[in-house]
Structure 1
Amino acid sequence: MSLDVFSLKNKLALVTGGGTGIGLGIAKALVEAGAKVVVTGRREAILKEAINELGSNAYYRVNDITDKSAIPELVKDIESNIGGIDILVNNAGIHHKAWAQDTTDEDFERVIQTNLISVFALTRECAKKMIERKSGSIIMIGSMAGLFGIDRVIAYSASKTALTGLVNSLTTEYAKDNVRVNAIAPGWITSNMFLNAVNKDQARKQQITNRIAMDHFGTTEDIGNAAVFLSSEGAKYITGVILPVDGGATVNF
């Protein structure tokens, strides 16, 4: 088997929320595999820092994923000025930590809007072009909270669990046009946001560590490598999969 099947040369990827954390880790891995990458987010300064780090094959667009009216123009801009979108990574999302009884309707709706409704809207728009070209890879970024129960993340859990249904249904509709739809469910991945959260709650940090079979947190590179695989010809017969990248957390007792 040639390693060329994992090359993304001549491919263009769009990574939402690609300026920091897991999104930036995914963008780095895609660039290293040969792809051109467009990262989006709301903060231009962060995006500029990201593309400086990513190099000449990286581009950015300032975009608020929750503004659904702007999505068609975003896709048109990228397709017209950079290239056809071969790979879409729906990474942008928000979190809300609160007990269910303390989560307001507004809290819940805000998370669902960002993590689910906006994801579908962008996916639908990108898929129009992918279907025309009879080729494409769409990747959702799920969560452990979509695979088993975790307290104090009711809205986040609901949004990530719903992505499984989205993957399943879109797979059945898009497969005939060679557009593959998969999800990566990251385990506990080291990032500034994650470390700041768990370092303030040592009991929860220990609970998480005990759950992980491999006994350590993952890295953004681990998620990026999974995204490269799912985007490549090496995964051309893989669609409709929820891939945990979690050090064995989903199966460990």
Structure 2
Amino acid sequence: MGQESQNRSQQWLEDQIAIVTGGGTGIGLAISLGLSQAGARVVLLGRREGVLQEAARSIGSQATCEVYDVKQTAGSDQLIERISDKVGTPTILINNAGIHLKKPALETSDEEFDAVIQTHVNGAFALSRSAARRMAKLKQGSIVFVSSMAAIFGIPQVVAYSAAKTAQIGLVRALASECSVHGVRVNAIAPGWIETEMSKKAFDQDPARRERVLQRTPLNRLGKPEEIASVVTFLCSEAASFVNGVVLPVDGGASIGF
């Protein structure tokens, strides 16, 4: 087998069952599509049934969806059991769902702060715990957290988001140290500024900010959702079988601090 063929086979996710939270739009949808193109059956999770169904249809027969709010942590075991019965035991979990809050720290209320933590930290942990229990029985699995550059350096007016994404990195390291003995790897990516519908709208309203972002990014462009998807697919594949507990920036060099 040639090297090129070997590399393709290492990244092929045939027979894998993947769950992607927030999988119906933006980066989550790109990740869902990327995993399906690598051979995995993908379950898209989110709160809006219509959006999820449309996203699953756009991916094709490899995709299905489940309405689920990650903040409702008490339902994580039942969700994993339901997916296992309907699709198969999950071997991949992508913790991508999140909410954002842009507000000065001194004006951020306890309720606003708690809502961000509940989604990114408590919700992601509950789902990871439930999925990892099943993965451990199979002696295989990959969990990937979609963290942020806000966990790497200080960004003003996103105190709750920064705290949540930094906490995710702690979860990754602790879970990786415990779960790897059961054959379950846990990693994270830290995306930089990515070109999505949401970011496009924000930059259209603030062209000066877009220029500052490009000046901060050595590659001098925004990232594409599919570039995030390809890295996630790599981390879930056999090509990354010895990669565990890492936080991989995917940011065009923005975090190098030039």
Equivalent-residue separation in structure 2 for 1:162 and 1:205 (angstroms): 27
- Give the partner amino acid of 1:137: S
Alignment of 1:165-176 (within 5 A): 165-176=170-181
Aligned residue for 2:18?
A: 13
Aligned residue for 1:134?
A: 139
Aligned residue for 2:79?
A: 74
Aligned residue for 2:44?
A: 39
Q: TM-score, normalised by structure 2?
A: 0.96
Aligned residue for 1:228?
A: 233
- Give the partner amino acid of 1:77: R
CA-CA distance at 1:252 after TM superposition: 4.2
Aligned residue for 1:164?
A: 169
1:121 and 2:126 are equivalent in the alignment: yes
Aligned residue for 1:24?
A: 29
Equivalent-residue separation in structure 2 for 1:148 and 1:96 (angstroms): 17
Partner SS, residue 165 of structure 2:
helix
Deviations 1:95-127 (A, max 9, x none): 000011111111100000001110000000000
Alignment of 1:171-186 (within 5 A): 171-186=176-191
Aligned residue for 2:256?
A: 251
Aligned residue for 1:110?
A: 115
Gaps of 5+ in 1: none
Partner SS, residue 255 of structure 2:
coil
Deviations 1:181-201 (A, max 9, x none): 000111111111111122222
Equivalent-residue separation in structure 2 for 1:119 and 1:148 (angstroms): 22
Equivalent-residue separation in structure 2 for 1:201 and 1:153 (angstroms): 17
Question: Contact 1:212–1:252 at 8 Å: present in 2 too?
Answer: no
Partner SS, residue 19 of structure 2:
strand
Runs of 4+ in 1 over 3 A off after TM superposition: none
Partner SS, residue 256 of structure 2:
coil
1:4 and 2:9 are equivalent in the alignment: yes
Equivalent-residue separation in structure 1 for 2:57 and 2:218 (angstroms): 36
Gaps of 5+ in 2: none
Deviations 1:163-208 (A, max 9, x none): 1111111111011111000001111111111111222222322221
Moved more, 157-166 or 192-201: 192-201
CA-CA distance at 1:45 after TM superposition: 0.6
Number of residue pairs matched? 253
Deviations 1:28-87 (A, max 9, x none): 100110110000101011001101110001000011111112211110000111001010
Which residue of 80, 85, 92 maps to 1:87? 92
Give percent identity, aligned residues only: 46
1:194 and 2:199 are equivalent in the alignment: yes
> C-alpha root-mean-square deviation of aligned residues, in Å?
0.8
Q: TM-score, normalised by structure 1?
A: 0.98
